[in-house]
Structure 1
Amino acid sequence: MKNYLYNMIANIRNGQIVKKSFILQSKKNICESLLNVLWDEGFILGYKISENNPNVLKIFLKYKNGKPAINSLKLISKPGLRVYYSVKQLWKLNINNGTIILSTNKGVMSINECKKLNLGGEPILIVK
């Protein structure tokens, strides 16, 4: 399940290094929910389903003054070492200039949404 996420994160990272305007990614529900969070937080311009192939997403990357909007994507929970945060642990975290994206029982959401809904979960990545 998560291999699609890790592949998409690597594609976004590599696409921004070479300054591509968009990248193509296979369409999976978990990937779409992660892209919705990235779009809500302002890290990508958006995404859409490709006209030629309905199983492919076209992700539009965002740049500010020629520099990528995403400076770093760091994976927290990996297949070999799963990490879970409770609500109390989330309130202790202090993230400046970025956000943590978590997978919860209510779906994929940012740390701010998790704090509002009083939910814990598995942190997927830190985006700065």
Structure 2
Amino acid sequence: MVTDPISNLIVRIKNASDAKKPAVTIPQSKLVENVAHALKKNGYLSSVQKNNDTREIELGIVYFDGGKPRITGIERISKTSRRVYQKSSDIRVFRSGFGNTFFSTPKGIMVDMDAKKLKVGGEVLFKIW
């Protein structure tokens, strides 16, 4: 049993992209599924397919034309041992707009600029670039 499904998700995605794998599977949960759909919406994943028979989600990894992965780095911010929250007024642009910070808000999982636009804060899940 995985104690931190978000950390498991980002480590599997990073390892699969470093190994040039076309896809990766991860145990299914609502939180993981919502984060995966947010990653797909922002162009970090090519596909998200749920397999109810095996209770797993298959995630397609995005690569540029030269074979370089779209995801070059992921950093977990809020952990089970130390939760990190941020108000909407404190949200800043990450890596001059070339990266995103993902938040868990009352309105769902969203990136930094969407949270700032909707004026909602929340738990800082991870940063990706």
Whether TM exceeds 0.5 here: the answer is yes
Separation (CA, whole Å) in 1 of partners of 2:77 and 2:50: 28
Deviation (angstroms), 1:50: 2.9
Does residue 1:10 correspond to 2:11, yes or no? Answer: yes
Does the CA-based 8 Å contact 2:75-2:128 persist in structure 1?
yes
Unaligned runs of 5+ in 1: none
Separation (CA, whole Å) in 2 of partners of 1:14 and 1:28: 20
Does the CA-based 8 Å contact 2:26-2:58 persist in structure 1?
yes
- Other-structure match for 1:94: 93
- TM-score normalised per structure 1: 0.91
- RMSD over equivalenced CA pairs, Å: 1.6
Deviation (angstroms), 1:2: 6.7
Q: 1:39-59 CA deviation, whole Å, 9 max, x = no partner?
A: 1110110110237x2511111
Unaligned runs of 5+ in 2: none
- TM-score normalised per structure 2: 0.90
Q: 1:75-102 CA deviation, whole Å, 9 max, x = no partner?
A: 1111222111001101xx1212011000
Residue 24 of structure 1 aligns with an amino acid whose one-letter code is T
Residue 49 of structure 2 aligns with an amino acid whose one-letter code is K
SS at match of 1:119: coil
User: How many correspondences in the alignment?
Assistant: 125
Runs ≥4 in structure 1, deviation > 6 angstroms? Answer: none
Q: 1:20-63 CA deviation, whole Å, 9 max, x = no partner?
A: 00011111110111011111110110110237x25111111011
Does the CA-based 8 Å contact 2:6-2:32 persist in structure 1?
yes
Percent identity of equivalent pairs: 26
